[in-house]
Each structure stands twice: as C-alpha cells, then as structure tokens.
Amino acid sequence: MGRLVAIIAAVLVAVFLSSILVVNEGERAIVSRFGKILKDEGVTRIYEPGLHLKIPMIDKIKYLDSRIQTMDGAADRFVTSEKKDLMVDSYVKWRIKDHEKYYLSTNGGIKANAESLLQRKINNDLRTEFGRRTIKEIVSGSRDELQEDALRNAAESSEDLGIEVVDVRVKQINLPSNVSSSIYQRMRAERNAVAKEHRAQGMEQSEIIKAKTDANVTILLADAQRRALEVRGEGDATAAKIYADTFSQDPEFYSFVRSLEAYKSSFENDSNVMVLEPDSEFFKYMKSPLAK
C-alpha cells in the first residue's frame, strides 16, 4: 500500500512539474492547444516572463526572443542614380514588436523566416535610397541621411511582420571587383602621366636654374678677376711709388741694391756665362763696395 502511494505521489509531482511553464527574462511564449493558438477574447495570449500553468502533453510552447537581434548578411549589389554598381555591406538591429503578428507572419515564429523577409524589405529600401543618389553624394557625406531614410522606410515596411527595426547601418561601400580593377588601372595611368609631367617640368626648371647659376658664376669670376687686377695694379703702382720715393732719397744706395739683384740673377746657375771686359761698369761694386 505504501509503495502504491509513493508511485501515485511521484506521478502527481511529475504531472505538476510538467504543467509549469517557465518564461525567462527577455522571452515571450505562445501556447497552442490541439493545433490552435490560445487566445483571450480573440487576442492571442502572450505569456510574459515568469511562471505559468499549462496542460501537460497537450499544450505546445513556442518561445520568442524579445531582445534586440542583429542581422548581418552578405554584401549586396546596388545601383546608383548614375547607373553605377556598388557592393554594400550593411547590418540591421531589430526586435519583435507584435508577437502575434510576428508568429503568424513567420510561419510559427521561425527566426530564419523573419530575417529572410526582413532582409528583402531592407534591401528594397536601401536600393531605393541608393538609386536616388550619386556615388559622390553617397561617399562625400550623405551616408547618415541615407541611413536615416532607410531606417524610416524599413520601420514602415516591417510593421506587417510584427517587427520593430531599431537601426540600419551601412558598414562598407565598395565597387565590384572588376570595376575596381579598371578604375585603379585608370587612376594609376593618370597618376603616372601627372608624375611624368611634373618630372619634365622639374628637369626644365633644373636646367634653367643651372644656366642662371653658371651665368652668375661667370659674372662673379669676371668681376673678381677685374677687381683683382685693379687691386694688383694699384698695389704695383703704390709699390713703385714707394720704391721711387725711397730710392730718390739715396740714388747711390739704389744703384747698389739694383747691382746686387743683377749679380744674384746673373750668377744663380753654374751654367750662366757672361762675356764682359774686366773694367766693365757691371763689376764696379765687386771691385769696391764704396765705388761711386
């Protein structure tokens, strides 16, 4: 008898535990019974976080994550108003706003279905915004305006999904690889042409500067040589005047000095030969230092 009571008690405890519905913070739950969603006066019953009761083995629970979700898909191709292709990488922040509508529109609250439908709407909104702008406008500063317009349009278009779009951001904008390659090649060719032009201009200026420098050097050297000759002439004249003034005071001493210089020059080398008479005037100071 005691064993039977224990079994019954265990069954009752198991039934009680299985009848408890636990909804965690950040979640909502929808209960379906016999394939139909439970409603209160025609409105789907949404279970808030906390403890609730359910019928074991009959009620089926679908948990919905009510926190902000991030959808970061692959880059997609968009066309600008200039008919130029761009590869745009973006992400979306969203959360469930109407759980009943979300559950019904996503085939039972399947997140993959929700993100697939939302991605199409976001891409359509972004495609519209990119189609209204040129590449220059998109790159040079209107990206914030583009994101704000895309967010506003996405918020309106996602209402039928029961989703609230919190934010839409463009992470990166690139040109398609084939277009980027051709553009880089063209830019490289243009830069090379500009570089060659600058080099040619630099060489021209270099030759002009060298010619001017050579001319200035020639003029400076000529002026320096002229000035040197002038200074040398002035010095020679001054020296001659000094000699003249000095030797005019004693002609005999001047004659003596000049004779000594003549002797020095004449007998400087052993091979010098002079043919003179012994009584020549040239040897007068060699005969007598006091000769007059």
Chain segment 202-213, per-residue pLDDT in tens: 999 999 999 999
CB-based contacts of 103: which residues, under 8 Å, 6+ apart? 30, 37, 44, 62, 64, 109, 162
CA dihedral 111, 113, 116, 122 (to 10 degrees): -70
Q: pLDDT value at position 78?
A: 83
Query: In this structure, are residues 79 and 131 in contact, taking their beta carbons and an 8 Å threshold?
Result: yes
For 249-269, the pLDDT digits (tens) are 767 777 777 777 776 776 666
Banded pLDDT at 270 (limits 50, 70, 90) = low
Which segments of 132-250 does DSSP mark as H helices, in order?
135-140, 143-157, 177-248
Q: pLDDT value at position 205?
A: 92
For 4-14, the pLDDT digits (tens) are 777 777 766 67
Mean pLDDT of 234-257: 77
**What rounded mean pLDDT belongs to the chain?**
81
For 111-156, the pLDDT digits (tens) are 888 888 888 888 888 888 888 888 777 776 667 778 888 888 888 8
Q: pLDDT value at position 213?
A: 92
Could you report how far apart the first and last alpha carbons of the chain are, in Å?
A: 177
- Whether the predicted model's global pTM rises above the 0.75 cut: no
**Residue 95 pLDDT more than 70?**
yes
**Would you say how long the chain is, in residues?**
292
Distance CA 55, CA 167 (A): 40
β-strand pairing of 163-174 with 76-79: unpaired
**Phi, psi of 169, deg, nearest 5:** -130, 140
**Residue 291 pLDDT more than 60?**
no
Mean pLDDT of 184-196: 84
Banded pLDDT at 271 (limits 50, 70, 90) = low
